[in-house]
């Protein structure tokens, strides 16, 4: 690509916003052109406005940028920017993202507010890139120059990536119990006195997302609508004292008998030809050790964009298997997922 496309980040000072800034630094296709945040951060340099919590240093170019109020992105299309990556709080994201799309931006959103709308693609590129065709429907329906594309909830991404290779066996039911890292709640999301030496068996709205989003993602695009996948998901979500990396215990029932070897082979052969900077070579990595995957050992697989699976074994019934999955929640499950979506949209011609 001869010239980089300039992009902006909405909600740049929060935990996912910081991850966007980190991952966009040195990106071969995209150049960070603007940072947007709330009024209390506007006018400050990014170094002054953001309480940087990532282990890497704040990118120098971003550190010296002046943070703009979100309204600057909303008012009119900035001719320099083509893509806005959204990490806005849900309370303001719905209106802001719509106004930005109406103004002409491609909004690649990590926020949940638009995910289940009929004409908004909810995309994992290795799973359902064809759903991006809804972009044209969305533009027609809403008379927008731009559009909104969303990536799923962080736990949903781990689950759906693992389920995609198993669809050939005829899934009828999925049960999942999550062990989710504290970074998924944001910088100040879980007080240390609440999570240390503890497990919190409730994450607001998380189970609803995990039970609905995979059905849309793994569904079939029929004309201008998606027909949901024909199985059920039952989720129980828990916060655990891990910094990064969501782990999931997954039980899957199939229409007929399926053995461990067939499932392992399905995971091994699951590959895509996305060929973009953030696309992992192996979306799902099989871990053969009996005590893997683990967040400490596996969250950075594929630069944080691969999901690891292991402990594949027969369940109580001949048509049931269970396994463990693990993925990096703020890279694969958040900022990295939005960036990968944008790469694929650019490659497919949705972004000029």
Here the CATH number for the domain that contains residue 75 is 3.40.50.720
Number of folded domains in the chain?
2
Q: Both 128 and 175 in a single domain?
A: no
Task: Please tell me whether residues 120 and 248 are part of one structural domain.
Answer: no
Residues 149 and 266 in one domain: no
242 close to 179: Cβ distance less than 8 angstroms: yes
Greater confidence, 90 or 166? Answer: 166
**Are 203 and 338 within one domain?**
no
CB 319 within 8 A of CB 347: no
Q: Which residues contact 32 (CB under 8 A, 6 or more apart)?
A: 6, 7, 8, 9, 21, 24, 25, 59, 61, 62, 65
Model pLDDT for residues 29-72, shown as the tens digit of each residue: 999 999 999 999 999 999 999 999 899 999 999 999 999 999 99
Average confidence (pLDDT) over 200-222:
97
Our answer to whether residue 154 is catalytic in this structure is yes
In a domain, 352, yes or no: no
Residues 6+ apart with CB under 8 A from 204: none
Is residue 1 scored above 70 in pLDDT? Answer: no
| Domain identity same for 180 and 264 | yes
pTM of the model: 0.97
| DSSP β-bridge partners for residue 253 | 173, 320
Q: Does one domain contain both 84 and 111? A: yes
Q: Are residues 94 and 126 in the same domain?
A: yes
Q: Catalytic: which of 100, 154, 162, 237?
A: 154
CATH for 205: 3.30.360.10
62 and 185 assigned to the same domain: no
Is the same domain home to 45 and 75?
Answer: yes
Same domain, 212 and 299: yes
Share of the chain above pLDDT 90, in %: 93
Q: What domain range includes position 133?
A: 5-153+334-347
């Amino acid at each position: 690509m001869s010239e980089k496309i300039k992009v902006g980040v909405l909600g740049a000072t929060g935990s996912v916003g910081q991850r966007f800034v980190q991952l966009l630094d040195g990106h071969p296709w995209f150049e960070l052109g603007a940072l947007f945040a709330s009024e209390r951060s506007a006018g400050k340099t990014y170094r002054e406005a953001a309480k940087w919590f990532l282990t890497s240093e704040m990118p120098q170019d971003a550190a010296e940028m002046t943070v703009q109020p979100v309204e600057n992105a909303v008012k009119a299309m900035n001719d320099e920017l083509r893509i806005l990556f959204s990490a806005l709080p849900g309370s303001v994201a719905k209106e802001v993202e719509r106004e930005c799309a109406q103004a002409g931006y491609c909004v690649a959103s990590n926020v949940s507010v638009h995910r289940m709308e009929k004409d908004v693609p909810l995309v994992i590129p290795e799973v359902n890139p064809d759903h991006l065709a809804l972009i044209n429907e969305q533009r027609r329906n809403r008379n927008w120059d731009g559009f909104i594309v969303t990536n799923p909830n962080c736990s949903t991404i781990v689950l759906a990536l693992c389920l995609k290779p198993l669809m050939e066996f005829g899934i009828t039911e999925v049960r999942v119990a999550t062990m989710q890292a504290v970074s998924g709640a944001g910088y100040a999301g879980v007080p240390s006195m609440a999570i240390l030496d503890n497990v919190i068996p409730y994450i607001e709205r998380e189970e609803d997302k995990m039970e609905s989003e995979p059905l849309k993602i793994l569904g079939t695009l029929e004309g201008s609508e998606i027909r949901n996948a024909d199985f059920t998901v039952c989720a129980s979500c828990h916060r655990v004292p891990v910094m990064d990396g969501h782990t999931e215990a997954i039980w899957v029932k199939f229409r007929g008998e399926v053995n461990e070897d067939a499932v392992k082979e399905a995971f091994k052969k699951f590959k895509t030809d996305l060929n973009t900077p953030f696309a992992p070579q192996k979306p799902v990595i099989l871990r053969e050790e009996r005590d893997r995957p683990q967040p400490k050992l596996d969250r950075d697989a594929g630069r944080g964009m691969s999901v690891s699976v292991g402990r594949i074994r027969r369940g109580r019934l001949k048509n049931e298997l269970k396994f463990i999955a693990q993925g990096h929640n703020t890279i694969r499950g958040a900022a990295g997922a939005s960036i990968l979506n944008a790469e694929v949209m650019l490659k497919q011609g949705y972004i000029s």
